[in-house]
Amino acid sequence: MRAILLDRPEVVAGAGPTLAAAGVADRVQVVGGDFFAAVPAGGDAYALGAVLYDWDDDQCVTILDNCRRAMGEGGRLLIAEIVIPPGDGPTTGRCWTSTSWWSSAAAPARRTSTGGCWRRRGCA
Ligand SMILES: C[S@@+](CC[C@H](N)C(=O)[O-])C[C@H]1O[C@@H](n2cnc3c(N)ncnc32)[C@H](O)[C@@H]1O
């Protein structure tokens, strides 16, 4: 399997040592870019991990449109997001999103929510 890692140029600039340590550097092409503009074309599968929760609906549609445009016939889109269960109990997801929230200067539209909310919206 081969992969393309897309992230902001300033982020992927530091990816080399991590990919090498994981033993996958020869199978991963690193691309600096902007998923609001375009994503690399021709992949069999596109994976968005902890990406969509950061953006509002219109921005998510742009990202998803760009994935759809880039993939070939039969392409697949894999989305991995944290779902926080209902209630106020401690969970890894609640902890993660709380710390992420406070550490981010650009969090205009966080959408990580309770499992109940996502279920109501038919997303889980
Ligand atoms: C919460 S992190 C998730 C990173 C990775 N997918 C993971 O699961 O560890 C969201 C990522 O989106 C990247 N990102 C933000 N805006 C971007 C853009 N316009 N184009 C490409 N990547 C972007 C950030 O640099 C960050 O690495």
Query: What is the per-residue pLDDT across 22-44, written as a single tens digit (0 to 9) for each?
Result: 999 999 999 999 999 999 999 99
Domain assignment present for residue 8? The answer is no
Domain assignment present for residue 19? The answer is no
63 within 8 A of 52, measured Cβ to Cβ? yes
Ligand 1 mutation target, pool 36, 39, 51, most atoms within 8 A of CB = 51
Q: What is the pTM of this model?
A: 0.80
Residues having CB within 6 Å of any atom of ligand 1: 6-8, 11, 34-36, 49-51
- Residue nearest atom 8 of ligand 1, based on CA coordinates: 49
Domain assignment present for residue 18? The answer is no
- Which of these, 55, 9, 59, 14, lies nearest to 32 by C-alpha position? 9
Domain assignment present for residue 67? The answer is yes
Say whether pLDDT at 99 is over 90: no
CA distances from 22 to 3, 93, 97, 111 (A): 14, 25, 26, 31
| Structural domain boundaries enclosing 49 | 34-120
Query: What is the Cα–Cα distance from 30 to 22, expressed in whole angstroms?
Result: 14
Domain assignment present for residue 42? The answer is yes
Report the range of poorest mean pLDDT among 80-84, 99-103, 106-110.
106-110
Ligand 1 mutation target, pool 7, 31, 96, most atoms within 8 A of CB = 7
Residue 97 binned pLDDT confidence (cut-offs 50, 70, 90): low
Is the pLDDT higher at 10 or at 53? 10
Domain total in the chain: 1
Query: What is the Cα–Cα distance from 70 to 100, expressed in whole angstroms?
Result: 29
Once rounded to an integer, what is the mean pLDDT over residues 69-87? 90
Domain assignment present for residue 111? The answer is yes
Rg (CA), the chain: 16
Average pLDDT, the chain: 82
In the reported structure, the alpha carbon of residue 64 is separated from the centroid of ligand 1 by a whole-number distance in angstroms of 14
- The first and second tokens of residue 91, run together, are 């969970």
CA distances from 97 to 11, 102, 117 (A): 20, 9, 16
